[in-house]
């Protein structure tokens, strides 16, 4: 079964090097075990208009591993645009999408190919575990930030309200094209917005409408690096605001000015409630302090404000 792995990147050569090394090691291992010169798995790097040394870095890999690594440039800024460029560049029947900071757990590729051959799903994802290679992680940032632990023991179809993370996801090409690919008005970089989400959720919803089977594979594990910009509260507040603002688009929900006003009017009472609930949770976790409580309350308020703005748009 042919598979193309697509890694979209923007100005992250300092992380991309380790990611490419990790992926290539598993492709070469598979090739040796199958005793074939040309592997059926290839790696596409989509350079999303980077201004750092990304092109030179990837050129080193395409020279050293010409049968494995391929490079394509996408000038239109946005993660969805870059992923869609990877889809058109590839012709493989199956595509895997990885974020540029991913480090693969041993057996990632073998597990993905096994699931493809099983025919269980049209799209499936797996576990991502947070890795902190940079010093300075703040105390208010929970240890499990960036980790999806809730589904790690679940193999099978995901419920309708759950979707796999786009940074560790396999898709059948035909099903992906039928769903229209990734929406360019959502996702990181969309419309010039640095922080944005929802593109894989929207795509999976379209795929489900077409009868697509979407699942979760707990053996499909990656480690992803948490970059220092996420050590700032402002980044998280902006992130939560954006998630709330785009909820209606992602889930195709009707807008209501009345709901927007109700959300804003109830915000003080909700923040008081969150202060109490947050204090209890942080106390139980042994993390109760002023910064952690402030982060807990304000980040939730930011999402509700974003949701109200989404209703008003």
Give me the percent of the chain exceeding a pLDDT of 90.
51
Beta-carbon contacts of 218 under 8 Å, excluding residues fewer than 6 positions away, are 126, 127, 151, 152, 153, 154, 155
Clarify whether residues 188 and 176 are in a common domain: yes
Given a cut of 60, is residue 37 above it in pLDDT? no
* Kind and range of the H or E run holding 198: none
Average pLDDT, the chain: 88
Same structural domain, 137 and 240: no
Same structural domain, 129 and 181: yes
Decide: 304 and 270 in contact? Cβ < 8 Å.
Answer: yes
Name the band, by pLDDT with cuts 50, 70 and 90, for residue 150.
low
Residue 208: both structure tokens together: 């489900």
Say yes or no: 58 and 114 in one domain: yes
Quick one: 145 and 99 in the same domain? yes
Residues β-bridged to residue 300: none
The string over 248-278, giving b where at least 16 C-beta atoms fall within 10 Å of a residue's C-beta and e elsewhere, is: bbbeeeeeeeebbeebbeeeeeeeeebeeeb
* Torsion, CA 221, CA 141, CA 250, CA 161, rounded to 10: 60
Strand-pairing partners, residue 41, are: 3
Count other Cβ atoms within 10 Å, centred on residue 153.
Answer: 9
Q: Are residues 152 and 250 in the same domain?
A: no
CATH number at residue 52: 3.90.550.10
pTM: 0.88
Q: Are 175 and 240 in a shared domain?
A: no
* Number of domains comprising the chain: 2
Q: Please indicate, yes or no, whether residues 124 and 273 belong to a single structural domain of this protein.
A: no
Last residue of a domain, one of 213, 230, 247: 230
Looking at the fold, whether 241 and 215 belong to one and the same domain comes out as no
3-class secondary-structure state, position 162: coil
Domain that holds residue 244: 232-312
Are 226 and 242 part of one and the same domain?
A: no
113 and 249 share a domain? no
Q: How does pLDDT run across 207-252, given as a tens digit for each residue?
A: 999 999 999 999 999 998 998 999 999 999 998 888 888 887 777 7
The residues pairing with 146 across neighbouring beta strands, listed in sequence order, are none
Q: Is 137 exposed, middle or buried (0-12, 13-18, 19+ CB in 10 A)?
A: middle
Q: How confident is the model at residue 170 (pLDDT cuts 50, 70, 90)?
A: very high
Q: Which of 201, 230, 259 is the last residue of a domain?
A: 230
State which of 204, 230, 256 marks the end of a domain: 230
User: Residue 38 contacts by C-beta under 8 Å, 6 or more apart in sequence?
Assistant: 67
| Residues 43 and 165 both lie in one domain | yes
Q: What is the pLDDT of residues 243-279, one digit of tens each?
A: 888 887 777 778 888 888 888 899 999 999 999 998 8
Instruction: Give the pLDDT score at 96.
Output: 97
Give the pair of three-digit tokens for residue 235.
């980044």
């Amino acid at each position: 079964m042919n598979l193309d792995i697509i890694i979209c990147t923007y100005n992250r050569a300092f992380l991309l090097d380790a990611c490419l090394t990790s992926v290539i090691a598993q492709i070469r291992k598979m090739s040796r075990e199958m005793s074939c010169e040309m592997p059926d798995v290839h790696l596409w790097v989509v350079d999303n208009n980077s201004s750092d040394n990304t092109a030179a870095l990837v050129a080193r890999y395409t020279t050293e591993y010409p049968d494995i690594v391929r490079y394509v440039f996408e000038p239109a800024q946005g993660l969805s645009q870059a992923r869609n460029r990877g889809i058109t560049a590839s012709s493989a029947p199956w595509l895997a999408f990885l974020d540029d900071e991913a480090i693969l757990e041993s057996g990632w590729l073998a597990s993905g190919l096994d699931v493809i051959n099983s025919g269980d799903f049209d799209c499936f994802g797996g576990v991502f575990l947070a890795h902190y290679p940079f010093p300075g992680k703040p105390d208010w940032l929970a240890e499990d930030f960036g980790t999806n632990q809730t589904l790690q023991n679940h193999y099978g179809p995901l419920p309708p309200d759950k979707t796999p993370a786009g940074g560790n996801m396999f898709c059948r090409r035909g099903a992906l094209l039928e769903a229209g690919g990734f929406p360019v008005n959502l996702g990181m970089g969309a419309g010039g917005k640095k922080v944005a989400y929802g593109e894989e959720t929207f795509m999976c919803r379209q795929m489900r409408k077409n009868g697509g089977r979407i699942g979760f594979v707990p053996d499909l594990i990656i480690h992803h690096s948490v970059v220092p910009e996420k050590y700032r509260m402002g980044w998280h507040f902006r992130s939560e605001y954006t998630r709330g603002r785009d909820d209606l688009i992602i889930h195709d929900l009707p807008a209501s000015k009345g709901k927007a006003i109700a959300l804003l009017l109830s915000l003080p009472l909700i923040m008081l409630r969150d202060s109490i609930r947050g204090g209890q949770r942080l106390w139980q976790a042994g993390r109760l302090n002023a910064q952690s409580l402030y982060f807990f309350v304000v980040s939730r308020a930011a999402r509700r404000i974003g949701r109200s703005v989404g209703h008003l748009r």
